[in-house]
Amino acid sequence: MSEPARVAIVGGGISGLSAAYFLERDAAARGQSVQIDLFEAASRLGGKIQSIRQDDLLLELGAESFLSRKTPAVDLCRELGIDKQLRGTRAENRKTFVWHDDRLHPLPKGLSGFVPGNMNSLFSTSLLNLRGKLRVAADYVIPASRRSEDESLAHFMTRRLGKQAYQRLVQPLLCGIYAADGEQLSLQATYPELRKLEQASGSLIRGLKLRQQRAQQAGGKPLPPFVTLPNGMSDLIEAVAGKLVTTKIHLNAGVKDCQQHNRGWAVRLNADADAHVASHYDALLMSCPAYKTSQLLSKALPAVADPLNEIPHVSTATVNLWYAAKSFSHPLDGYGFVIPSHEQRGLTAVTWTSSKHHDRAPDDWRLIRGYVGRAGAEIDDEMSDEEMVAIVLRELKRTMGIHEKPVGTRIQRWLKGSPQYTLGHCDKLQKIDKALAEQPGLFLCGASYRGVGIPDCIREAGNAIEAVFDYLEGKT
C-alpha cells in the first residue's frame, strides 16, 4: 500500500498488546508500513493481569501464572528476552487439597488434564472410596464413544472415570479454571484433546501415559507445569508494552462505538477520551470481551453483535489476605485447596500464595487468596467489601480453622470476567466467523473465543494478525 495502513486495536489486555507486538514485528519483516492505535478504557494496560506491591507483599489480582506446555506464552517470553526469568511453583510444597466431607484431602499425584497418571497414588487417596477407584480404573476397558456430537465435560468425564471422580477430582479443578458449571461446559470448546485421547487410545489413562512417554523421548529439560515471573505476571505486560515502538497507546480511551466508513472503519471515542487521534482505519481488531464487542458493534453490525452477545460471562472476585506469621496457626503445607460446587460454599478455591510461589511474601508474613463466584453463584454486584471479606473469613475458619483476623485485605472484582464455553460454543463461533466474513477488515481475538488462558490469548492474537495482513495485502 502506498500509504501506511491504519489499524485500530480495541482492548489493552494481553490479547490486544500481543496483537500490537505481532503487528509491528511482522510489518517490519514484510517491509510494510503500519500505523497502530491501541485503545484501552482503563487507566492501565493488562486487563485481568495485574500485580501490585503492598506492605512488602506481591499480590496478584488476576492471573497468577500460565501453563508452560501451551507454548505461545513461553515463545513470546523468549522473543521478549525474559524466558530465563520464568520460574515454577515451590516444589517443596507441591500438594493441593480438595474440601470433601468436612475436611481437606490431598489430591492424588500425577493428575494431568484431569486424568490420573499415577494409579498407585489414586488408589491411596482418601477422596474416593474403593468403588470410586475401581470405576476410574475401568477407563482401561470402557469402549471409546464413536459419536461425533459435542457433550458436556461433566458427561464425558463421568462416562470415562465415573461420577465420584468427576465430582471430587475434576469438577473442583474445573471450577477453578473456568468458574463454570461442568454440566454446561462444552468438551469440544474446552478440552478437545481429551476426546482425541479417548479415540486414539481407547482410554484416557492409557492415552495420557503414551503422551508422557513421547514427551520423555523427545528429550530436553521441560519447564515446570505452571510458570510466572519474579515481579508477577505484570512483568509480561510491561515487557510486551516496552517492545512497542510505533504503536500509540491511548489509556482512559473508552470507545463509544465502531462503524464501517469508506471501505474502512470508524472508531468513535467517548466524550472524555483523547480526541486527537485518527478515527478512520483500514482494519479493526476487537480484543475486548465478546459482550463488550457486541455493545460496540450493535448499532452498525447486528449480524456480528448478536451471536457475540450469546457468549455468557460470569462475575467473580479475588480476595487477597495477609497475616503476621507469628500469630498464624495454620502450616500452609501445600498450594491451597479447591471446593466442589455441590458443597455450596461461599468460596470456590483458596491459594496459599506464600507457600505456592517464591518471593511473594517475607518470611514473617503469610499470604493467601480466596476466589469467590462461579456459574450459578456469581458475586453480588451490590455486596460491600466488608461483606465479601466476612464470607471469605467465615469459610477459612470452617475449612482451615483460621480464627485470626488478617492484617490487610485487597479485593478485586472481575465483573463478567470469566467467559463460559457452554454447549454449542463452537456453533456460536461458526456463526460469528460467518458474519465476520461479510465484514472485511474486522477481526476478533481474546479469551471469549478459543481459550481462556494466557497462552491461548497470545496464540489467537497471532492468528488474528495473520488474518489482518492477508486482508491488508489483498487491498493493495
Mean pLDDT of 6-33: 96
Averaged pLDDT of the chain: 93
16 and 285 Cβ atoms separated by less than 8 Å: yes
Does 474 have pLDDT greater than 90? no
Listed in order, the ranges of the chain carrying CATH 3.50.50.60 are 5-47+239-311+422-475
The pLDDT of 47-56, averaged and rounded, is 95
Closest to 375 measured CA to CA, from 432, 317, 423, 314: 314
For residue 476, pLDDT beyond 80: no
pLDDT (0 to 100) of residue 25: 97
Per-residue pLDDT tens over the stretch 184-223: 999 999 999 999 999 999 999 999 998 888 877 766 677 8
Neighbours of 5 (CB within 10 A): 23
- Cross-strand bridge partners of residue 366: 323
Rounded average pLDDT over 170-183: 90
When pLDDT is averaged across residues 407-423 and rounded to a whole number, the result is: 97
d(CA 49, CA 229): 12
For residues 263 and 472, is the Cβ–Cβ distance under 8 A? no
Q: What is the average per-residue pLDDT within 67-81? A: 96
Distance CA 258, CA 300 (A): 7
CATH 1.10.3110.10 residue ranges in the chain?
A: 108-218
81 has a pLDDT exceeding 90: yes
Mean pLDDT for the stretch of residues 10-19:
98
CATH 3.90.660.20 positions along the chain are 313-419
Order of all β-strands in the sheet with 5-10:
248-250, 34-39, 5-10, 283-286, 442-444
pLDDT at site 276: 53
- pLDDT at residue number 216: 75
The 10s digit of each residue's pLDDT in 371-409 is: 999 999 999 888 899 999 999 999 999 999 999 999 999
CA distance 3 to 37: 16
pLDDT at site 273? 58
Q: Inform me whether the pLDDT recorded for 161 exceeds 50.
A: yes
Does residue 447 have a pLDDT over 80? Answer: yes
Could you tell me which CATH number the domain at 5-47+239-311+422-475 has?
Answer: 3.50.50.60
Residue from 445, 429, 471 nearest 190 by CA: 429
Q: What is the model's pLDDT at position 3?
A: 83
The three-state DSSP-derived secondary structure of the chain is CCCCEEEEEECCEHHHHHHHHHHHHHHHHHCCCEEEEEECCCCCCECCCCEEEECCEEEECCCCCEECCCHHHHHHHHHHCCHHHCEECCHHHCCEEEEECCEEEECCCCCECCECCCHHHHHHCCCCCHHHHHHHHHHHCCCCCCCCCCCEHHHHHHHHHCHHHHHHHHHHHHHHHHCCCCCCEEHHHHCHHHHHHHHHHCCHHHHHHHHHHHHHHHCCCCCCCEEECCCCCHHHHHHHHHHCCCCEEECCCCEEEEEEECCEEEEEECCCCCCCCCCEECEEEECCCHHHHHHHHCCCCHHHHHHHCCCCEEEEEEEEEEEEHHHCCCCCCCCEEECCHHHCCCCCEEECHHHHCCCCCCCCEEEEEEEECECCECCCCCCCHHHHHHHHHHHHHHHHCCCCCCCEEEEEEEEEEEECCECCHHHHHHHHHHHHHCCCCEEECCCCCCCCCHHHHHHHHHHHHHHHHHHHHHHC
Q: The whole model's pTM is what?
A: 0.95
- Please tell me the distance from the alpha carbon of residue 315 to that of residue 179, in angstroms, as a whole number: 9
Q: What do you get for the CA distance between the two ends of the chain, in Å?
A: 5
User: 406 with 324: CB under 8 angstroms?
Assistant: no
Q: According to the model, what pLDDT value does residue 303 have?
A: 93
Chain CA centroid to CA 167, Å: 22
pLDDT at 434: 96
Assess if CATH 1.10.3110.10 describes domain 108-218: yes
453-467: per-residue pLDDT in tens?
999 999 999 999 999
Query: Which residue, 202, 213, 140, 129, is CA-closest to 169?
Result: 129
Q: Which residues contact 227 (CB under 8 A, 6 or more apart)?
A: 65, 66, 68, 74, 86, 87, 88
The closest of 476, 464, 460 to 70, measured between CA atoms, is 460
Give the position of cell 475401581.
134
| pLDDT of 14 above 80 | yes
pLDDT over 90 percentage in the chain: 84
Mean pLDDT in residue range 142-149: 90
CB 186 within 8 A of CB 422: yes
What pLDDT, in 10s, does the model give residues 244-286?
999 999 999 999 999 988 889 999 998 765 555 667 899 999 9
Instruction: Provide the pLDDT for residue 78.
Output: 97
Second-level CATH architecture of 313-419: Alpha-Beta Complex (3.90)
Sort strands 283-286 and 442-444 into parallel, antiparallel or unpaired. Answer: parallel
Residue 172 has pLDDT above 50, yes or no: yes
Phi, psi of 15 (to 5 degrees): -65, -50
pLDDT at residue 1, as a whole number = 45
pLDDT in tens, 91-140: 999 999 999 999 999 999 988 889 998 999 999 999 999 999 999 999 99
pLDDT by residue (tens digit) across 350-374? Answer: 999 999 999 999 999 999 999 999 9
Say what percent of the chain tops pLDDT 70: 97
Average pLDDT over every residue of 281-310 = 96
> pLDDT value at position 70?
93
